[in-house]
Amino acid sequence: MKVQEKQLQDSKIPKGYKQTEVGVIPEDWVVRKIDDSFSISGGFSASRDDLGSIGHFYLHYGGIHGSKQNYMSTLLHKNNIPKIDIELNKISPNSFLEDGDIVFVDASEDLDGTSKYIVIRNPENKIFISGLHTIIAKHKNGIIHKLFREYLFHSKKVKDQFRYFAVGTKVSGISKSTIKKITFPLPLTLAEQEKIAEVLSDMDAEIEKIEAKIEKYKYIKKGMMQKLLTGQLRLV
């Protein structure tokens, strides 16, 4: 019976594709564990009271949860990233963030948030410290394009794994040891990864433009509503 079920399942797979634990993927793609491609470490714990506008860049897990983008840039977001004034010899070298590093949250108020992460854009190699409730994944074998990393863990099958490994009731969490077990599909060539990432990045850019327009029209409507509903602007 199981053989027949497998044959039926295989017959539904399009030519040139294969069934894997993360779903049907092209035959020339592979499935990798996070532990195969990344070194995992933790951040430096500091409270919000330690943060200010002076010092080194500091990534609090709340900054990841609150981000609408897949990345955080030391150039574009420098004024919005909290700072911490601290002696660097107090911090583990593994907690410093470099260009292309992935940072996950290890705690979330909902299951969807357990898979939340951002990629660091730090081309100038500024001092950037990963902080409270963060898990850092540093790429170790050069087979994953930096831009593609921003979309690497967004497929449903991968997100489902984060939910599966999450523990807790009011707050869901994932540990450094369990995050290593998560698997993801990967195109073998950097060229294909880059093309996929560019398409998705262009779509994100268009969404940002549309959202900016919506906010502009909301602001205009708010002002117009005040004038219309108080009689400052008459229509008759």
85-144: pLDDT as tens digits: 998 998 999 999 999 999 999 888 888 888 999 999 999 999 999 998 999 999 998 899
| pLDDT at residue 2, as a whole number | 53
Identify the band that residue 46 occupies on the pLDDT scale cut at 50, 70 and 90.
confident
Considering the entire predicted model, what is its pTM? 0.86
Instruction: Name the region of 133 (left: φ>0; alpha: ψ -120 to 50; beta: rest).
Output: left
Residue 11 has pLDDT above 80, yes or no: no
Q: How far is CA 75 from CA 22, 52, 85, 100, 120, in A?
A: 35, 18, 19, 14, 11
Asked whether 170 and 109 are in contact (CB, 8 A), the reply is yes
Q: Is 39 helix (H, G, I), strand (E, B) or coil?
A: strand
Per-residue pLDDT reduced to its tens digit, 53-80: 899 999 988 899 989 899 999 999 999 9
Residue 52 backbone phi and psi in degrees, to 5: -160, -150
Of the chain, the percentage scoring pLDDT greater than 90 comes to 74
Report residue 208 as tokens: 């940002």
pLDDT per position as a tens digit, 172-192: 889 999 999 999 999 999 999
With a CB cutoff of 8 Å and minimum separation 6, the contacts of 92 are 41, 44
pLDDT band with cut points at 50, 70 and 90 for residue 47: confident
Model confidence at 6: pLDDT above 80: no
Q: What is the pLDDT of residue 71?
A: 96
pLDDT at 167 over 60: yes
Predicted confidence band of residue 1 (pLDDT cuts 50, 70, 90): very low
Structure confidence at residue 169 as a pLDDT band (50, 70, 90): low
Per-residue pLDDT at 10: 56
Give the residue carrying structure tokens 């880059």: 194
**pLDDT at 170 > cutoff 90:** no
Whole-number Cα distances in Å, 141 to 35, 38, 145, 169, 225: 11, 8, 11, 36, 57
